[in-house]
Structure 1
Amino acid sequence: MTGTPSEASAPASSANLGPGFDCLALALEIRCRVRAWRSERWKVRHDGRHRPPPESADAVLAGAQAAVGSEHPLRLEVDNHVPIGSGLGSSAAAYAAGAAAALRSVGRPVDAHRIFRLVTALEGHADNAAAAVFGGLALVDPGGRVRKLTMSDAYGLMVLVPAFRLFTSESRSVVPERFELPAVVNSLSRMAALVAGLTSGEAGILRSALGDELHETSRNRLRPSVGKLIGEALNAGAVYAAWSGSGPSVLVLTRSSETGRVVEALSSSLGDQVEIACPSIASRGIV
């Protein structure tokens, strides 16, 4: 392995945010970083705490090979800080960072729109892909285009990360394919309130978006402890809390002036069973 590596990183993300199922995600400044060198054969080394399980496919490798083709072997080194199997978009970040590092290594341009399409195809849904590639608060419109929304700075955020894993395949398997009309109407109303509250900074509107009948209700039955975490956060003074992606992590929003107090209250009530992270919003996706 010689020469200067090409590098790229992509952020974690919290998808859905309650009623924004499969179309809304928020990028978090927790990153998967990849370095790539030209090589005679494909090699991957993972450093750090968050590594893919031995039995699972390697998302960084998959992203790199999808971007440049398996006929251009690379040596990849991964420094991933995104918890895996925690509902924080680890696979989207890995696909995106792997693809961007690979493209730079072979001298090709890093086209964000192309990488977004690539990550969406690998993921099977576009919300985490949008946040990982473009950063910020990302909405995927009905035509599949990404619209970046401006989130109010009135909120502080934290993520509650339980020690156990819950993989997307299991979490998605319990989501119904059909819904009664009242549940759909409620979801539409909550989605409107969610976007209005996030962008305006009006906590009262945001709080009215709490709850979800499309995916959170069924997932709460699968993992009741996640619903209890949401309740703990609200009881501690949070404005809003929701499943982060497919879980089991919980995204928590507070008034910015009250974040420290809510963190202290949750630290006291949750003990060491749940990690409390307070990342900033990642305004940039791939870098």
Structure 2
Amino acid sequence: MAPLRVRVRVPATSANLGPGFDSLGLALDIWGTLTVEAAPASVRADGMAWLALAAAERLFAQRGRPLPPLRVEYDGGVPVARGLGASAVARVGGLLAACALLGEAPDPHALLPLAAELEGHADNAAPALLGGFQIAVRRDDGSYLCAGFPPPSGLRAVLFVPQRELPTAEARRVLPRSVSRADAVYNIGRAALLAACLASGRLEHLDEATRDRLHQPYRERLFPALAPLVEASLEAGALGAYLSGAGPAVCALTSGREEAVAEALAKAARRLELEGETIITAPTSRGAHLVEV
């Protein structure tokens, strides 16, 4: 018998990791919780709840079923419109909840194509569903292939999350329609190096591996503080740093010296008169999961 109330936890995610535009993502130990329950009549929803309901409705439609009246409540520490995968939290949460309400056991790999379609790309959806470090590739026929592994033990992520929002659509509009061969080769090499670093634990190369020419230089026009924040984190001992997703959050990867890096980011932000907060967290190997059915 399908439940009348479902609770789902979904991790925040940091996409691109510098060179892996629309392809690489890392799940973070920051969580959003969605509670979805049957309601006597349709309940007006907006924000995260609306995204979750829209995702649930798509899955019900795939099964040839109408979406029943539902109420969605969101609670969690995932900042919205900051480059930490909040929309993927809502959509993936809605898909897992829909599975449970349909009486199905959620299959993250089976849900990835729809999650990626809803998101427009899989770099946040894959780690939100599966946890860990994920490489998502879109095949020529439009389907997705995903491969990943647990992040190295001891790896930490220090975030600076600006108070201002930067919607993904705005951050994508500034990107060029084509890039040079030199820039493509630059990023291909560093994306491969990044995967090798994280798979092998050779973290000493992360500074070079998190560099990018395909999106960060263009998005810096919208967020000029990016370069000073990255530089401050590296000078304080970060292994590598990059614009998280479409931004404006900056993620510095560390293995020790987390407090020093956090303080350096906060100090640089004060110098730039940029309001925001620092968060010290870690990657997580766990993806979205049901916590109450």
Structure 1 segment 122-201 matched on structure 2, within 5 A:
122-143=118-139, 144-201=144-201
| Residues 1:77 and 1:210: Cα distance change in structure 2 (over 3 Å) | closer
Aligned residue in 1 for 2:92: 96
Report 1:54-133 matches (<5 A).
Answer: 58-69=50-61, 70-133=66-129
Equivalent-residue separation in structure 2 for 1:58 and 1:38 (angstroms): 15
Q: Distance in 2 between matches of 1:127 and 1:225?
A: 24
Show the counterpart of 2:278. Answer: 276
Task: Measure the CA separation in 1 of the matches of 2:156 and 2:8.
Answer: 27
Q: 1:67 to 1:41 in 2, by over 3 A?
A: farther
| 1:76-134 residue CA offsets vs partner (Å, 9 max, x unmatched) | 22213211100000001100111212321342332212321221111110110101111
- Asked whether the 8 Å contact 2:12–2:86 carries over to 1, the reply is yes
**TM superposition shift of 1:172:** 0.6
Kindly report which structure 2 residues correspond to 1:4-23, keeping only aligned pairs within 5 A, or say none.
Answer: 5-23=5-23
**In the alignment, is the contact (CA less than 8 A) between 2:37 and 2:70 conserved in 1?**
yes
Length-normalised TM-score, structure 2: 0.87
* TM-superposed deviation, 1:156: 2.0
Cα deviation, residue 207, structure 1: 1.6
Q: CA RMSD in A?
A: 2.1
Matched-pair contact (CA < 8 Å) for 2:151–2:283: no
Q: Distance in 2 between matches of 1:279 and 1:260?
A: 11
Distance 1:212 1:73, change over 3 A: same
SS at match of 2:57: helix
- Distance in structure 2 (CA, Å) of the matches to 1:163 and 1:137: 27
Q: TM-score, normalised by structure 1?
A: 0.88
Contact 2:228 2:268 in 1 (8 A): no
In structure 2, distance between residues paired with 1:128 and 1:83: 14
- Does the Cα contact within 8 Å between 1:163 and 1:273 map onto a contact in 2? yes
What is the CA-CA distance between 1:45 and the residue it aligns to?
6.5
Partner Cα distance (1:155, 1:80) in 2: 23
Counterpart secondary structure, 1:12? strand
Question: Any unmatched runs of 5+ in structure 1?
Answer: none
When residues 160 and 208 of structure 1 are mapped into structure 2, their CA distance, relative to the original with a 3 A threshold, is same
Size of the alignment, in residue pairs? 276
Cα–Cα, structure 1 residues 223 and 195, in superposed 2: closer, same or farther, change >3 Å? same
Change (3 A) 1:62 1:227: farther
Task: List runs of 5+ in structure 2 lacking aligned partners.
Answer: none
